[in-house]
């Protein structure tokens, strides 16, 4: 499927991306994020794994802007039910620097929205860096509005986690998650990237741990990637908080994971208890993002 878009200097063709090679997408991705505040230094294989596979990108519902055969910009799309609505998640928008300022993000969304509506999508969702005002204005022009501030944390491996003596809890790896149980352990629902639906696509790359009390009851859990250090989900039963279970699980992870850094992403700014807990463990709030939504 294609569409033509013209501006004062270029004649752009808009196409969905299912017929284009991942190497072409990767080259455009590299050029588009060469000046991004957060470094995306990765190989082709890492791009395929961390973006295309990790986000379960639907290339037939993603769009690219072409000048001739050159891909100059893109929007990657992931589709799933999220917080009760059939949602299109923006897994990445990129435009090569020399083609910015031409309204490509707006045009790509105008191309994409009718296709999303056709399959029943009722909400578009994305996250954007708080300092990226240029992108925020581009999304606002499309029709997105800001809903919440999300805080992102990073911790270096060499920072040790100190535990207070207390009740003994057994922590061990388990093969499969108990999503229904874990949902009762958290004060808020995870971001789109860390929902059970998305994590289920990459369970083979993740580790799941549970903390159990002396009666064998599960009182805490965490799901993380031992390679990247991303802790996607964690929680402690409400009746067992402030007993050191969370700290013990994080120490278990950092002791056994080879990752040089550990990240916890997209914590709503209103979750002050979790934010305080992470800072106490040595996590630093390096960046903030805005969640933005557009109802269709």
> What does pLDDT average to over the chain?
91
Average pLDDT over residues 62-68: 95
Instruction: Tell me how many domains the chain contains.
Output: 2
* Same-domain status, 260 and 188: yes
pLDDT band at residue 36 using 50, 70 and 90 as cut-offs: confident
Q: Please state, in angstroms and rounded to a whole number, the distance separating the CA atoms of residues 290 and 30.
A: 23
Among the candidates 143, 174, 189, a domain finishes at: 143
Q: Which residue's entry shows tokens 């045009």?
A: 107
CATH number at 76 reads 3.40.630.30
* Same-domain status, 15 and 102: yes
Of the candidates 101, 26, 8, 34, the residue with the CA atom closest to the CA atom of residue 64: 26
Contact 31, 91 (CB under 8 A): no
pLDDT > 70 fraction of the chain, expressed in percent and rounded: 93
Among the candidates 93, 123, 143, a domain finishes at: 143
Average pLDDT over residues 117-139: 96
* Same-domain status, 158 and 133: no
pLDDT > 90 fraction of the chain, expressed in percent and rounded: 76
Q: Name the burial class of residue 89, with classes exposed (0-12), middle (13-18) and buried (19+) by CB atoms within 10 angstroms of its CB.
A: buried
Average pLDDT over residues 158-182: 78
Q: Please state, in angstroms and rounded to a whole number, the distance separating the CA atoms of residues 111 and 16.
A: 9
Residue 270 falls within a domain, yes or no?
yes
* Same-domain status, 25 and 135: yes
* Same-domain status, 227 and 275: yes
* Same-domain status, 196 and 261: yes
Residue 296 falls within a domain, yes or no?
no
Residue 246 falls within a domain, yes or no?
yes
* Same-domain status, 126 and 176: no
Those residues whose C-beta lies under 8 Å from the C-beta of residue 143, and which sit 6 or more positions away, are 294
* Same-domain status, 69 and 88: yes
pLDDT band at residue 5 using 50, 70 and 90 as cut-offs: low
Among the candidates 112, 143, 174, a domain finishes at: 143
Of the candidates 266, 198, 274, the residue with the CA atom closest to the CA atom of residue 241: 274
Q: Please state, in angstroms and rounded to a whole number, the distance separating the CA atoms of residues 140 and 230.
A: 30
What is the secondary structure of 75-139 as a DSSP string?
EEEEEEEETTEEEEEEEEEEE-GGGTTS-HHHHHHHHHHHHHHHTT--EEEEEEETT-HHHHHHH
Strands 218-224, 231-236: parallel, antiparallel or unpaired by DSSP? antiparallel
Q: Which residue has the higher pLDDT, 254 or 160?
A: 254
Average pLDDT over residues 145-157: 92
Residue 34: the pLDDT is 85
Residue-wise pLDDT for 263-296, tens only, equals 999 999 999 999 999 999 999 998 999 999 999 9
* Same-domain status, 252 and 167: yes
Residue 11: the pLDDT is 85
* Same-domain status, 176 and 199: yes
Residue 184 falls within a domain, yes or no?
yes
Residue 8: the pLDDT is 46
* Same-domain status, 161 and 122: no
* Same-domain status, 139 and 188: no
Q: Please state, in angstroms and rounded to a whole number, the distance separating the CA atoms of residues 149 and 169.
A: 34
Give the number of other Cβ atoms within 10 Å of residue 171's Cβ: 17
pTM of the model: 0.91
Residue 192: the pLDDT is 96
Residue 85: which domain range? 2-143
């Amino acid at each position: 499927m294609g569409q033509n878009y013209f501006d004062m200097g270029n004649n752009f063709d808009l196409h969905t991306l299912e017929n284009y090679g991942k190497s072409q997408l990767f080259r455009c991705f590299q050029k588009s994020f060469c000046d991004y505040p957060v470094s995306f230094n990765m190989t082709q294989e890492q791009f395929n794994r961390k973006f295309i596979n990790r986000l379960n990108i639907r290339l037939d519902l993603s769009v690219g802007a072409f000048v001739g055969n050159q891909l100059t910009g893109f929007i990657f799309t992931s589709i799933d039910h999220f917080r009760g609505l059939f949602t299109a998640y923006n897994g990445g928008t990129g435009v090569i620097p020399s083609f910015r300022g031409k309204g490509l993000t707006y045009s790509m969304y105008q191309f994409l929205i009718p296709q999303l509506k056709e399959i029943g999508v009722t909400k578009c969702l994305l996250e954007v860096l708080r300092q990226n005002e240029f992108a925020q204005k581009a999304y606002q022009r499309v029709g997105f509005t800001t809903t919440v501030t999300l805080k992102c944390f990073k911790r270096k491996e060499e920072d040790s986690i100190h535990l207070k003596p207390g009740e003994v809890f057994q922590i061990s790896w388990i093969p499969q998650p108990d999503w229904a149980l874990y949902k009762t352990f958290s004060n808020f629902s995870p971001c789109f990237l860390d929902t059970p639906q998305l994590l289920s696509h990459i369970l083979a790359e993740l580790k799941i741990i549970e903390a159990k009390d002396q009666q064998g009851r599960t009182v805490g859990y965490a799901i993380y990637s031992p390679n990247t250090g991303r802790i996607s989900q964690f929680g402690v039963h409400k009746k067992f908080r402030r007993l050191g279970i969370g700290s013990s699980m994080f120490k278990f992870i950092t002791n056994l994971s080879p990752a040089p850094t550990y990240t916890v992403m997209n914590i709503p700014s209103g979750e002050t208890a979790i934010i305080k807990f992470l800072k106490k463990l040595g996590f630093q709030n390096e960046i903030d993002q805005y969640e933005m939504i557009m109802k269709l």
